[in-house]
């Protein structure tokens, strides 16, 4: 329902804040420099560039995971602060409950199991961007 949609939109808003923006920056380098290397038939240099950027992605993944996992509940509430508007309206109370829990609504909450998947999804999206940029360079 709308609670799950709000949870996903909170993830989408949080991705750039917690690591994805660094991946976007390095993918521009890979696209520009990598395509020049491939056009010049410098395949070994392209391979070295791609490997270096993958190592950067792995280091960034470790940093992101180690800084996000211990603080996943406060981050969930920080990302959903604007949802407090729903709590003030009786008509929107069910939506608020579907996002944060409480009441008689079942299902996952933003601060619960939904945030457990945030870090793996962030990492998957980051490495997807890196590999896609590597393919674009070719």
Query: Angle 72-79/2-14 helices, nearest 10 degrees?
Result: 110
CA atoms of 114 and 75, how far apart (whole Å)? 12
* Sequence-distant (≥ 6) Cβ neighbours of residue 54 within 8 angstroms: 130
pTM of the model: 0.72
Tell me the pLDDT of the chain (138 aa) as tens digits. Answer: 666 666 667 777 777 888 888 899 999 999 999 999 999 999 999 999 999 999 999 999 999 889 888 887 777 777 666 666 655 666 666 666 666 665 444 456 655 666 677 888 889 999 999 999 999 988
């Amino acid at each position: 329902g709308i609670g799950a949609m709000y949870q996903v939109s909170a993830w989408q808003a949080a991705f750039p804040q917690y690591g994805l923006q660094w991946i976007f920056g390095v993918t521009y380098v890979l696209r520009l420099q990598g395509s020049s290397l491939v056009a010049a038939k410098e395949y070994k240099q392209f391979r070295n560039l791609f490997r270096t950027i993958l190592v950067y992605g792995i280091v960034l993944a470790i940093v992101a995971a180690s800084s996000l996992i211990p603080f996943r509940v406060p981050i969930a509430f920080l990302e959903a602060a604007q949802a407090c508007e729903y709590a003030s309206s009786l008509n929107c109370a069910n939506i608020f409950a579907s996002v944060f829990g409480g009441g008689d609504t079942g299902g996952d909450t933003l601060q619960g199991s939904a945030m457990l998947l945030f870090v793996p999804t962030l990492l998957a999206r980051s490495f997807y961007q890196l590999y896609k940029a590597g393919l674009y360079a070719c």
